[in-house]
Amino acid sequence: MDDDRLCHVETFERKSTDFPQFLDLCVNTYFYRKPVVVSWNIIKYNIFSETGGPDLYGTEPWTFYFRNLILNFNIWFILALLALPLFLVQKIASPSRLGFQSALRTVVFVSPFYLWLVIFSLQPHKEERFMYPTYPFLALNAAISSHILLTAFGSKARGNTKEKSFISKVSVKLRLLVVTTVFLGAAAAGLLRTLGVYTAYSGPLRLYSALEHGQNSAIGGLGDSVCFGKEWYRFPTSYFLPRDMHAKFIRSEFRGLLPGEFSEARTGFGIWSGTWLPTSGLNDRNEEDLGKYVDIRSCDFLVDTQFERDELPPNEPDYVADENWEVVKCEPFLDASKTHALSRAVWVPAFGLEWLKRSWARHCLLKRVKT
């Protein structure tokens, strides 16, 4: 490619990457009524903040993402880690196989996964969602490793029979059986992981269907409050509630900062005022704001999980057994502290073995008893 064409390509690529950022800035400016660059806000708070910082929300060891990714991606995560070493081995073993530019391009393609993993593993505060942007790169690296291994595994012998490699001496049918078994095993492990997570923790996503028609039935009414204590972090989003019901918080043992509410002012503030009007009681130090709590007597509904415990914290009683509340709907929820690690990680049939059986709690929607 000549210099002129290369210049046009680079200019086009630069414009194609700049436009989404400009569009994002325009949308944010419209809704927040001031210029907002989300990526800069993230960097400013997590790196340059003097009062806040991510460490306030918990820290994990550097192995956190490795354990998480091996659990969720099994063999594909291992293959993703091996992409660069395998490529270098292939390059050394067959130096004429790829030219310098092709080799450099491959290194550029596989590098983002390593960079993202290393940078976020070095950060003390870790969350599973921080790995979401690198999932496509993980898949790409795993595909490259698979291609290299399958190419070597399926290579035919060349030249004198005495120079055959160990792999080339193995029958084609046996090699096909090994490859098929490995890939089907990885797919089965991923399916069992998905099924295990869904059956164990999907209760909070199904619980609120009882309120879908609450406005026109005896289950609920306009403006009713659905309250959360220790279950505040399991509440998916207010989109799961009917439009005129509100999520509220009651006091629990948690002493950090709870989520705030968008303003519902509709007069005198223009269109979508809730996105830019300031929310009270927020801070960047994860300090508790007592203004976030409501009196439990003002709650029309309450969401609570009933675990089998001998002793309960004073601010987290068993509301399900409280005579002031009646059960509207309950969903099973895994009691992780009483379930074996294997049964927590994936779905496995117990086969009558007690140690493989899952222990269940009840995730319930409660309605205040009218007196």
3-class SS shares of the chain: helix, strand, coil, % to 5:
55, 10, 35
Most confident of 162-166, 241-245, 360-364: 360-364
Measured distance CA(72)–CA(314) in Å, rounded: 36
Q: Is the pLDDT of residue 157 over 70?
A: no
Which two tokens mark 275?
A: 């996105």
**Start-to-end C-alpha separation, the chain:** 82
Query: Domain ends where: 52, 77, 93?
Result: 52
Does 363 reside within a domain?
yes
Q: Specify whether the CB–CB gap between 326 and 170 falls below 8 A.
A: no
Does 255 reside within a domain?
yes
Most confident of 14-18, 38-42, 84-88, 260-264: 84-88
What's the total number of domains in the chain? 2
Q: Is the pLDDT of residue 86 over 80?
A: yes
What's the average model confidence in pLDDT over 26-50?
A: 87
Q: What is residue 334's predicted lDDT score, i.e. its pLDDT?
A: 97
Identify which of 201, 202, 187, 226 has the alpha carbon closest to the alpha carbon of residue 365: 226
Tens digits of residue pLDDT in 234-271:
999 998 998 789 999 999 999 999 999 888 877 778 88
Does 201 reside within a domain?
no
Does 122 reside within a domain?
no
Query: Domain ends where: 10, 35, 52?
Result: 52
Strand 360-368, strand 225-228: pairing: unpaired
Measured distance CA(316)–CA(123) in Å, rounded: 32
Split at pLDDT 50, 70, 90, the class of 97 is: low
Q: What is residue 174's predicted lDDT score, i.e. its pLDDT?
A: 86
Q: Residue-wise over 192-205: b if at least 16 C-beta within 10 A, else e?
A: ebeebbeebbebbe
Q: Is the pLDDT of residue 13 over 60?
A: no
Does 98 reside within a domain?
no
Does 334 reside within a domain?
yes
Q: How much is the mean pLDDT over the chain?
A: 87
What's the average model confidence in pLDDT over 27-55?
A: 86
Domain range for 28: 19-52
Does 355 reside within a domain?
yes
Q: What is residue 45's predicted lDDT score, i.e. its pLDDT?
A: 85
State the helix-helix crossing angle for 172-201 and 135-153, rounded to 10 degrees. 160
> Between these two residues, 11 and 98, which has the higher pLDDT value?
98
Identify any residues that bridge with 360 across adjacent strands, giving them in sequence order.
Answer: 334
Q: Is the pLDDT of residue 206 over 60?
A: yes
> Between these two residues, 237 and 11, which has the higher pLDDT value?
237
Q: Specify whether the CB–CB gap between 302 and 312 falls below 8 A.
A: no
Taking CA atoms, 56 is separated from 45, 168, 229, in Å, by 12, 56, 21
Tens digits of residue pLDDT in 173-193:
888 898 999 999 999 999 999
Q: Which of 7-21, 232-246, 286-300 has the lowest mean pLDDT?
A: 7-21
Q: What is residue 186's predicted lDDT score, i.e. its pLDDT?
A: 96
Does 138 reside within a domain?
no
What's the average model confidence in pLDDT over 70-77?
A: 96
Residues 95, 99, 103, 106, CA torsion sign:
negative
Taking CA atoms, 202 is separated from 95, 165, 198, 240, 331, in Å, by 51, 50, 5, 13, 9
